[in-house]
Amino acid sequence: MGFAKVNDINIHYQVQGTGPNVLFIHGIRADLTNPISAFKTALPKHFTVLAFDPRGLGESDSPLQSCSIADMADDAAGLAVALGWDKYHVLGFSMGGMVAQELALRHAAAVDKLVLGVSNAGVKNGAPVLVDKLDQMSAALGLQTSDIRQDAAWVDTHPEIVERFDQQALAFKEELQANPALQRGYANQVNAVLKHDTFERLGEIKVPTLVFGGIYDGSNPPEVISKMAGRIPNARLEMVEHGHGSWYFDPTVWQMIIDFLES
């Protein structure tokens, strides 16, 4: 692990693995301590993987000023430059996919291949407006938003999962209340996501692109994923048998990603 000064912000990062360079971009409110980590997958066995705490989260600085998805993309690209990377693949999931879109648009010469998972091109283009409601959702609604199969009947038969989800949500709320820097960083992410809109510019992405979504994802449903993929020239679209997050635990999805990047 280390730190790099990027855009006047100290960015905390980690590098693992060997092989071609891959820049991994987390989803909303996730940092290097998050269980959804590229380092816990097969990715570092094939690639040199760079991941980082986004501005406002983890051990990276939390600036007082607001930021946009484009600012986050410049942070990611600047970090790669600081580490001497001039060419790399980009993997972004959920909010990280939004950042990855802007990175591919703003720093096209640096991007080799692009993977956009369970993401969207902005709420103006059909994506449900949910990000500012996450903290107010009940555990049951949050689980169903993540995976539409997790309906009321499913919730009734899986009380232990609902309880665990509820406890995790409560822990994050308590962490926010105790940490003004984190509270500011998370609020900046929410506002940036709500303003994200790349739809009309996606045709400018010329690199090989894999777009995938979960057919049971209630937050980024299949029609939104398909609409985004259709705007990117020659993008490959894959829909997997998952919700918003369960794909992460499926080795076949990671193998699909690895095969795409190695092809």
Q: Measure the CA angle with vertex 121, ends 119 and 122; round to 5°.
A: 105
- Rounded average pLDDT over 208-229: 96
On the question of pLDDT at 132 being above 80, the answer is: no
Separation CA 91–CA 257 (nearest Å): 9
On the question of pLDDT at 105 being above 90, the answer is: yes
- Rounded average pLDDT over 183-204: 95
Q: pTM of the entire structure?
A: 0.95
Reported as a pLDDT band with limits 50, 70 and 90, residue 141 is confident
**Sign, Cα dihedral of 154, 155, 160, 166:** positive
> Domain limits at 108?
2-262
Q: Where is average pLDDT lowest: 50-59, 85-94, 124-133, 210-219?
A: 124-133
CATH of the domain at 191: 3.40.50.1820
pLDDT in tens, 1-14: 899 999 999 999 99
Predicted local confidence at residue 96, as pLDDT: 97
What is the number of structural domains in the chain?
1
**DSSP string for 210-224:** EEEEETT-SSS-HHH
pLDDT in tens, 142-156: 899 999 999 999 999
Separation CA 142–CA 123 (nearest Å): 19
Listing from the earlier edge strand, what are the strands of the sheet with 236-240?
Answer: 2-6, 9-16, 48-52, 21-25, 88-93, 111-117, 209-214, 236-240
On the question of pLDDT at 72 being above 90, the answer is: yes
